Amino acid sequence: MQITKGKVAKAQKIVIYGPEGIGKTSIAAQFPDPLFIDTEGSTSNMDVARMDKPSSWTLMLQQIEFVKQQRPCKTIVIDTIDWAERLAIDFVTSRANKTSITGFGYGEGFIQLEEEYGKFLNKLSDLIEMGINVVLTAHAKITKFEQPDEMGAYDRWELKLGNKTTAKTAALTKEWADMVLFANYKTFSVAVDEKGKKHKGQGGIRTFYANHHPAWDAKNRHGLPDEFPMDYAHIAHIFNSSPVPQASASVQQPTQPIQQEAPVQQPQTVPVQPPVEQLVPNTQLVPELSPSIPQSLRDLMMQSGVSEEEIQVVVSKKGYYPMDTPISNYDPSFVDGVLVGAWQQVYGMVEEFRKSLPF
């Protein structure tokens, strides 16, 4: 048993949300050595490191696993998490051959979404343990809120997650985060007539809110003020003490005492970062894929180096379609629910097929 005392430097889990266009992506780009998973294509005009826009939930999970294995950055940014939730909803509905998340009945669809989303947050927590910061950006929405012990309702800003009351993705995200920052324009109501009956808004200063308020959700564990200018410099000190992610390396310890008259210097094991070429999936050996293949499946095939013929072989062996049926002729629900939704199993069958080849 071990007891520790004092602050522990570790990577941080941050959620930044606010109205569209306020600069959430620009702030996220200032975190230490960021790598973007751009779910909505908002970084096209920014000079940042980014991965391909994920066309499916499965591909996004593979991208996170890639970051876990290769550690190419100090901060991973998912921009935005509400667009990522759409991928999760598509995954859950396609897997069950449903057309809508509400088509399950009795809230079963939202239960499955919550489970899948929870696994996703666990994967991000693995990155935290490795010393990689995780930043989730999100849009904000205004909802009507009524406290159980009060009369009347009022408007408040919330994460644009879980559009139904039975969905819990927003609550899970806030619980998971170490810091939830609400970004908004600080405006003032100024009277424009002598009697003070007519007002107009002035100001518009971009502001971060770091603590809970009846009008918004926010929290932090670093003693930040209730509000401060939307500038990374005000939170940079939190990440200056975060550990630097490194590849695991074991150093052999001497088992025999070292004689003072003949000191022996043990060689140090230095983590070697893989060259940039190895950080990109090798697609040179993959035949050119038909552009008529659905994008979500095509991206996974390119990522894993799977050819169109290999998919046709696996599908025909299972009796779904004849061998000579083009993938573009497959039913869309079959592509999304079986090939994309169960890609790990599909890829496993492709590997088994490769092992059976005589050369």
Report CA 22 to chain centroid distance, whole Å: 20
Q: Please check whether residues 231 and 333 belong to one and the same domain.
A: no
Q: Please check whether residues 232 and 297 belong to one and the same domain.
A: no
Question: How much is the average pLDDT of 78-93?
Answer: 92
Q: Please check whether residues 297 and 228 belong to one and the same domain.
A: no
Residue 355: what residue type? Answer: K
pLDDT of 39 over the 80 cut: yes
Q: Please check whether residues 130 and 59 belong to one and the same domain.
A: yes
pLDDT of 54 over the 50 cut: yes
Cα–Cα distance measured from residue 159 to residue 157, given in angstroms and rounded to the nearest whole number: 7
For 225-250, letters b (16+ CB in 10 Å) and e give eebeebeeeebeebbeebeebeeeee
Q: Please check whether residues 154 and 302 belong to one and the same domain.
A: no
Q: Would residue 277 count as lying in a domain?
A: no
Residue 164 has a pLDDT of: 61
Say if residue 80 is preceded by a cis peptide, omega within 30 of 0: yes
Q: Please check whether residues 34 and 102 belong to one and the same domain.
A: yes
The CATH number of whichever domain residue 227 belongs to comes to 3.40.50
Instruction: Name the domain boundary from 218, 240, 262.
Output: 240
Residue 306's nearest CA partner among 354, 258, 264 is: 354
pLDDT of 262 over the 70 cut: no
Q: Please check whether residues 106 and 226 belong to one and the same domain.
A: yes
Q: Please check whether residues 311 and 215 belong to one and the same domain.
A: no
Instruction: Name the domain boundary from 201, 224, 240.
Output: 240
105-155: per-residue pLDDT in tens? 887 888 889 999 999 999 999 999 999 999 999 999 888 877 776 666 778
Q: Would residue 263 count as lying in a domain?
A: no
Predicted confidence band at 192 (pLDDT cuts at 50, 70, 90)? low
Q: Would residue 224 count as lying in a domain?
A: yes
Average per-residue pLDDT for the chain: 81
Range of the domain at 152: 13-240
Q: Would residue 150 count as lying in a domain?
A: yes
Cβ atoms of 78 and 57 closer than 8 Å: no
Q: How far is CA 323 from each of CA 307, 327, 343, 350, rounded to the nearest angstrom?
A: 14, 10, 19, 14
The answer to whether the Cα torsion of 79, 81, 82, 84 is positive or negative is positive
Number of domains, the chain: 2
Residue 134, number of CB atoms within 10 A of its CB: 26
Q: Which residue has the higher pLDDT, 325 or 264?
A: 325
Q: Would residue 93 count as lying in a domain?
A: yes
Residue 26 has a pLDDT of: 93
Cα–Cα distance measured from residue 28 to residue 135, given in angstroms and rounded to the nearest whole number: 7
Q: Would residue 86 count as lying in a domain?
A: yes
Q: Which two tokens stand for residue 46?
A: 């920014």
Residue 229 has a pLDDT of: 92
Residue 329's nearest CA partner among 316, 343, 341, 344 is: 316
Q: Please check whether residues 218 and 326 belong to one and the same domain.
A: no
Name beta bridge partners: 186: 205
Residue 143, number of CB atoms within 10 A of its CB: 13
Residue 181's nearest CA partner among 134, 228, 238 is: 228
Q: Would residue 272 count as lying in a domain?
A: no
Residue 225: what residue type? Answer: P
Residue 357: what residue type? Answer: L
Instruction: Name the domain boundary from 215, 240, 265.
Output: 240
Cα–Cα distance measured from residue 291 to residue 269, given in angstroms and rounded to the nearest whole number: 46
Q: Would residue 256 count as lying in a domain?
A: no
Q: Please check whether residues 334 and 213 belong to one and the same domain.
A: no
Cα–Cα distance measured from residue 149 to residue 88, given in angstroms and rounded to the nearest whole number: 35
